[in-house]
Structure 1
Amino acid sequence: MSSPKFRDLSAGSKSLVLIELGIFAGALLFSVYLNSVFLFVEQPDTPNNLVIAYALLFALIMQLTSLALGLYNSKLRESIRGVVRRILVCVAIGFFVFSLINPFLGSHPLPVELLALSSFLSLLVMGIFRAFTLKVDFFGFNKRNILVLGAGERASIIEQRMRRDVDRQGFHVHAFVVMPGDHEAGIVKETRIELEESLVNYAMENQIDEIVVASDERRNNLPVDELFACKIRGIEVTEILDFIERETGQVAVNLIYPSWVIYSNGFASANYLRNTLDWIFNASMAFIMLLFTWPVMLITALIIKLDDGWKSPVFYFQERVGLDGEPFNIIKFRSMRVDAEKNGAQWASKNDDRTTRIGHFLRKYRVDELPQIYNVMRGDMGFVGPRPERPEFVQTLVTNIPYYNERHNVKPGLTGWAQLKYPYGATETDAMEKLKYDLYYIKHRSFLLDMLILVRTAEIVLFGKGR
């Protein structure tokens, strides 16, 4: 994607450019002012008009890098983390470029410490400002105006599962276009239209940013030429599965068809370095975690003994299904009665009456999971991944839920994307919902996503938000 020119930017983008021009220039002027007050860096007296010229030059360089990195593209679809990453790169490049030309600015070059302070202030203020603009959609950067091609069963998932405002923070649904072959039991409450004109003309006239293809019947039914024309005019064309995945953080298992899996990126990691270093990273993290948590585990073992008798077992071993469907024994602190499964394997529920008195606490704060550090060190599990299920349940789930076996393409984990996004589940329906998140994790897994999951899991543990 080429960098946009200023004249090609939208009115909202132009406003943003002018405001952030002031932010960048103000950051350097404020740094010079702070230095004149606190004198933390030696600087020869510089004429005020020269300082203003430096500030404008600094701002110009920062703005050029911002333009190059797409920060003023009205079609930029990034989360606040993505925007901050771009700002960080922008400020780093701007600082580097200004540092190179600074010695050639005459007899009054700016100290590099002032440039560093100006860059830091720019990053701080820009990050806060962009977070605010994204939150309130002040410049129209946040919401896309989408047109859904289809008004049947596949399209209805948007109406049924993404009906709240919080579900539509990133987009506004303009309308659902009725297509031949759509099931009648589809869109009920939202706007349905029947196009009598060109799709391209309609999309351009109504300032559509994105077309979501969600028709029920696709063979010889899609206006391919029209979609192609929309695409080359800058209108994004997205398949319903990819749209749901992007907006909800899950893969819609009930809508998957084989060709989507074949052509879709992800699912099998081609990063051989990551795969090679995976065990080293997890084992090292497990060893560090063990150093910090062994006193907690020792106290937990003593409390279990005191609560349930000295002859009662502290640990609970249970067979689970791991990578490539291979079984392994998971180890946990026992949080249920010894006879909890006298009638056979059962799903654990949120307020399970088989849980011991101390077990409720252990499960709420995830303390019962700590012995699984041993499983991580053995290589049976990683820190992040789909939670392993019992073979008795997996056999049924693989039969009843399509693509359930795909979750065994990666190592199971102590915590996972599904555990963060979905409440505690104890039914086959819950397993289906959690699979949607597990498949999303498998498809998008990366070091940054793993770090995000670990940080949010720490929040759950610290504030007792667990089951």
Structure 2
Amino acid sequence: MIRLFKHYVPHAVLLLGAVDLCLLAVAAEIAWDLRAWQIGTDAGLLSGRIGPLASFAIAVELAMVAVGVYGVESLQSVRFATVRLLVAIMLGMVAVSTLGFLVPGLTLWRSNALYAALISPTLLVLARLLLGSVIGHEAFKRRVMVLGAGPRAARIRALADKPGAGFCVCGFVGMNDGADAVRGAINRNAIESLGDHVVNLRASEVVLALEERRNALPLADLLRIKTTGVHVNELSSFLERETGRVDLATASHSWLIFSDGFSSGRLISAASKRLFDLVASLLLLVVAAPIIAVFAILIRLESPGGAFYRQKRVGLFGQEFDVLKLRSMRQDAEVAGQAVWAAENDPRVTRVGRVIRKVRIDELPQAWTVLNGRMSFVGPRPERRQFVADLEQRLPFYAERHMVKPGITGWAQINYPYGASLEDSRNKLEYDLYYAKNYTPFLDLLILLQTLRVLLWPAGAR
């Protein structure tokens, strides 16, 4: 993987993304030349239309990221990718049309854009047919040797066996730190030189997956491996990179302290995030006001009680604030204010509430909370005090998620389906910690784009 702005991106995604961007520009150029030939005019110099070609390619590329064209499913299935590509191109056309209205001359003419949209799917699907076998080939995967043969090492093997894995395990070395849990592991005592063994296996990375670290680290061997140019990684960092989450089963206080991340004092990043929140929340409130008004009336007509409800949530630094949402449950959904987890097909949800939850319309009034600075568009979802008090006792590092401002959408929301159990909270916490640890404006942009995928294909909304 390659690390861009502290976020890990698979080589296959970067390669395919670069090819797609070039093909989109080629499609736009073909469309331009075709239209010029149709109307009997000279196409002109290429340098004179770089802006329109680039705007089309970038708009569609961003739409492809937003709808999940580069997800694991799309990389594994051309049919799945084709459906997402068609949706992305339609959304890209909307973006191009809007940009053409706002900044005339910056993008393609409508006829050129239409031709480019018709040509693009053929080129993009053809690229996937040609590159599909190459992207998943072993030659493009990192070769990892694992020091350890216990349950931790077995987790790496299971991760390598998953579709879309960017690495393969070329060997396990048992370090006499417990019973072996993987087959084919070679005992350290049977290897004369661990450094030579790594070179012979052509490993590009060594991962420490020892069950017992105390007095077990082969420091001399690791130094020799490091000096040969092979990357030496710790299990927690390896899992963070490969899964996009902080693994609570292996993370320790010392690792969180000494690993890269949690640099919250980024003045420019914080200022740009707040500026975006202000502008975007104002625009959203203006655009969404009619939608909110219509559904507020429907809520009042269906069930007694107010259309909106306020609820105390825990935010930045553990401070409580009021969150505003459209009411999607009955007025008597909670007895005496006692917090209750939402359940699948929850009977407390009204008919209108079921609709607005599916398409996330109930979240729109939260733009007001973003505007007043208590929330951001992107961040961990805020929970109620009763839940927080319980989860802080049962989950390690839960309080650390409150070191960043809560958000309407987040890394956990786009990567994990809605859940309302302790195990769901644990999984979502792992994603929230990754966000808090690796926050950059680039990651915020990626989350905002992929939130569209969640809205178009809602999974597990309750």
| 1:369 paired residue number | 363
Aligned residue in 2 for 1:154: 152
State yes or no: 1:256 paired with 2:254: no
Shift of 1:276: 3.0
Task: Report matched runs for 1:342-421 at 5 Å.
Answer: 342=335, 344-421=338-415
Aligned equivalents of 2:254, 2:273: Cα separation in 1: 30
3-state SS in 2 of match to 1:379: coil
- Structure 1 residues 354 and 138: alpha-carbon distance in aligned structure 2, compared to 1, 3 A threshold: closer
Q: Tell me how far 1:131 sits from its aligned partner.
A: 10
Question: How many residues in Structure 1 have an aligned counterpart in Structure 2?
Answer: 355
What is the aligned partner in structure 2 of residue 165 from structure 1? 162
Once superposed, which parts of structure 1, at least 4 consecutive aligned residues long, lie more than 4 Å away? 125-135, 138-141
After superposition, what is the alpha-carbon deviation per residue over 1:419-439, rounded to whole angstroms, capped at 9, x for unaligned?
111111111121111110001
Q: Which residue of 1 aligns with 2:310?
A: 317
Q: Larger Cα Rg: Structure 1 or Structure 2?
A: 1
Q: Given the alignment, which residue of 133, 137, 140 partners 2:135?
A: 137
Aligned equivalents of 1:210 and 1:340: distance in 2? 53
Using the aligned pairs only, state the percent identity: 40
Report the counterpart of residue 95 of structure 1 in structure 2.
Answer: none
- Give the corresponding residue for 2:217: 222
1:318 Cα shift? 0.9
Task: Map Cα deviations across residues 52-101 of structure 1 (whole Å, 9 max, x no partner).
Answer: xxxxxxxxxxxxxxxxxxxxxxxxxxxx9xxxxxxxxxxxxxxxxxxxxx
1:350 and 1:126 map into 2 onto residues whose CA distance is 38
Residues 28-427 of structure 1 correspond to what in structure 2 (within 5 A)? Answer: 39-41=42-44, 133=131, 136-137=134-135, 142-159=140-157, 162=159, 164-166=161-163, 169-182=165-178, 184=179, 187-188=181-182, 190-195=183-188, 196-197=190-191, 198-309=193-304, 312-342=305-335, 344-427=338-421
- The CA distance in 2 between the partners of 1:442 and 1:318, in whole Å, is 24
Distance 1:234 1:430 in 2: 40
The change in CA–CA distance for 1:291 and 1:141 in structure 2 (over 3 A counts) is farther
SS of alignment partner, residue 145 of structure 1: strand
Q: Is the 8 A contact 1:268 1:409 kept in 2?
A: no
Provide the secondary structure at the position in 1 that maps to 2:312: strand
Q: In structure 1, what is the Cα distance between the partners aligned to 2:323 and 2:173?
A: 51
Question: Partner amino acid for 2:156?
Answer: I
Distance across 2 between alignment mates of 1:354 and 1:138:
46
Contact 1:460 1:466 (C-alpha < 8 Å) held by counterparts: no
TM-score (normalised: structure 2)? 0.70
Q: 1:235 to 1:128 in 2, by over 3 A?
A: farther
**Comparing 391-400 with 270-279, which one deviates more in the overlay?**
270-279
Q: Which one-letter code corresponds to 1:174 in the other structure?
A: C
Q: Secondary structure at the match of 1:154?
A: helix
Deviation of 1:232 after TM superposition, in Å, equals 2.2
Whether the aligned pair in 2 keeps the contact of 1:349 and 1:424 (CA below 8 Å) is: no
The amino acid across from 1:358 in the alignment is: V
Assess if the C-alpha contact under 8 Å between 1:134 and 1:142 holds in 2: no
TM normalised by structure 1 equals 0.69
Which of 417, 432, 438 pairs up with 2:432? 438
Amino acid aligned to 1:348: A
Give the secondary structure class of the aligned counterpart of 1:181: coil
Amino acid in the other structure paired with 1:191: G
Give, in whole Å, the separation in 2 of the partners of 1:250 and 1:139.
Answer: 25
Q: Structure 1's 210 and 127: CA in aligned 2 closer, same or farther, altered over 3 A?
A: farther
Partners of 1:208 and 1:289 in 2: CA distance: 50
For the aligned residue pairs, the C-alpha RMSD in angstroms reads 3.1
Q: Is the 8 A contact 1:145 1:209 kept in 2?
A: yes
Task: Determine the C-alpha separation between the residues in 2 that align with 1:134 and 1:236.
Answer: 28
Q: Which moved more, 1:441-450 or 1:381-390?
A: 441-450
**CA apart distance, 1:157:** 2.7
Query: Counterparts of 2:187 and 2:216 in 1: how far apart (Å)?
Result: 15
SS in 1 for 2:380: coil
| CA separation of 1:460 and 1:137: change in aligned 2, threshold 3 A | closer
What is the Cα deviation at residue 454 of structure 1? 1.0
Shift of 1:155: 2.4
Q: Which gives a bigger RCO, structure 1 or 2 (Cα 8 Å, sep 6+)?
A: 2
Please report how far the alpha carbon of residue 129 of structure 1 lies from its aligned counterpart in structure 2 after TM superposition. Answer: 6.2
C-alpha spacing 1:130/1:270, structure 2 compared with 1 (3 Å): farther
CA spacing shift, 1:359–1:235, aligned 2, 3 Å: same
CA gap of 1:400–1:135, structure 2 versus 1, over 3 A, is: farther
Q: 1:232 to 1:388 in 2, by over 3 A?
A: same
Q: Is the 8 Å Cα contact of residues 278 and 371 (structure 2) preserved in structure 1?
A: yes
Structure 1 residues not aligned, in runs of 5+: 1-15, 44-79, 81-124
Q: 1:347 to 1:244 in 2, by over 3 A?
A: same
1:32-69 alpha-carbon deviations (Å, 9 max, x no partner): xx89x9853479xxxxxxxxxxxxxxxxxxxxxxxxxx
Alignment check: 8 A CA contact 1:316 1:331 kept: yes
Q: Within the alignment, does 1:457 sit opposite 2:460 as a pair? A: no
Q: Distance in 1 between matches of 2:320 and 2:237?
A: 33
- The 1-side partners of 2:129 and 2:321 are apart by 45
